[in-house]
Amino acid sequence: DQQVKQNSPSLSVQEGRISILNCDYTNSMFDYFLWYKKYPAEGPTFLISISSIKDKNEDGRFTVFLNKSAKHLSLHIVPSQPGDSAVYFCAASAYGQNFVFGPGTRLSVLP
């Protein structure tokens, strides 16, 4: 039962353009969402979060949008840089319980 889905296993974007990473969830009890970036052989690194009382959160080049009715969130990276190339995980939590991770999307930013 995949509660958190990231339907695109990979995404390629030109440097300077926008990267949009999508995440869908099925559990309507999820109320807190995180995005993590992961390089090979390293632990996940926190990028940005959003709680269900908001529909947008912005931090520098990273913006997360939450559409609760569609149970969908997206991460926008503008402008994309080659150093952004990594696997991006969406994670969701319900009322402080453990975080459920999506399968990840591998982003490649091409110079």
Partner 1 sequence: EPEVTQTPSHQVTQMGQEVILRCVPISNHLYFYWYRQILGQKVEFLVSFYNNEISEKSEIFDDQFSVERPDGSNFTLKIRSTKLEDSAMYFCASRGLAGGPNTGELFFGEGSRLTVL
Residues 76-105 that bind partner 1 (CB under 8 A): 89, 91, 93, 95-104
Question: How many CA atoms does the CB half-sphere of 67 hold within 13 Å?
Answer: 10
Distance CA 83, CA 95 (A): 34
Q: In the complex, what is the shortest distance from the CB of residue 65 to partner 1, in angstroms, rounded to a whole number?
A: 18
Residue 32 as a binder of partner 1 (CB under 8 A): the answer is yes
User: Which position among 43, 53, 60, 70 is part of the footprint of partner 1 (CB under 8 A)?
Assistant: 43
Residues 48-67 that bind partner 1 (CB under 8 A): 49, 51
Closest to 52 (Cα-Cα) out of 36, 27, 30: 30
Beta strands in 68-104 (DSSP E): 72-77, 86-93, 100-101
Contact 48, 59 (CB under 8 A): yes
User: Which position among 12, 14, 45, 81 is part of the footprint of partner 1 (CB under 8 A)?
Assistant: 45
- Using CB under 8 A as the criterion, which residues of the chain lie in contact with partner 1 when the complex forms? 31-32, 34, 36, 41-46, 49, 51, 89, 91, 93, 95-104
